[in-house]
Structure 1
């Protein structure tokens, strides 16, 4: 994403970057200048029109530039949390996928619950019901996407 390759920068760092990017020295960074900066940092996925839509201006003063940077930094933090969540879900999925075939069956679920001490015979029907409820392709087991949906919906 934008500025993804940059670590968090201080206002002083950003002021120096702003001054270097402001090639004509008019105190404003045009969308073309901003786009050049994004390309230099490996973030060339936006057209000038997309940038204009994003910042809603033809050029940015320093305070606008700071706001833009902070917005993008916050967005990247959210993406990082999202990838951490994905990684955590994958690890959890592996715990329940006992035979490593990429699926969780009601038997897998029962086995793990027994190991954790959360199992008694009344839960057998619950495991089958839960698998059926989230099994969107009706194959009798959960793949990772179905498991992810189940975990994200039950967290809400």
Structure 2
């Protein structure tokens, strides 16, 4: 079964939201949102006040969280058609995201590393029967069982029409 890791589906977003909502009040604070953005390699070069202005609230419910995610995805898709200087920024963001998955820093993402990061983000459920090797094989163009940066970049830039 081929799995597309980007963009995330509604169930994935719901699980991430629940993991972030530590106190179970149905809201994700700006601090929790900022932590997630930094963790996945999307660095918002703003203060918490600027993040609040960007988001428009001090906390997000699940609907707001999904809307925020969709806005980020659309913005990143639009970056692909912008001038080269901004492409460099996208390349840098992708390199940072790659670093999140490349836990041992060897320049490749292995099945174990992928499963480890997805587990930390609340996106891996061992009971669901998915095999990370299958997920990697979808984008592994040289069939070495690992994702290098170019394969990772291709995976992240694939969009559903």
What TM-score results when the alignment is normalised by the length of structure 2? 0.46
Q: TM-score, normalised by structure 1?
A: 0.48
Q: Which has the higher contact order (CA 8 A, sep 6+)?
A: 2
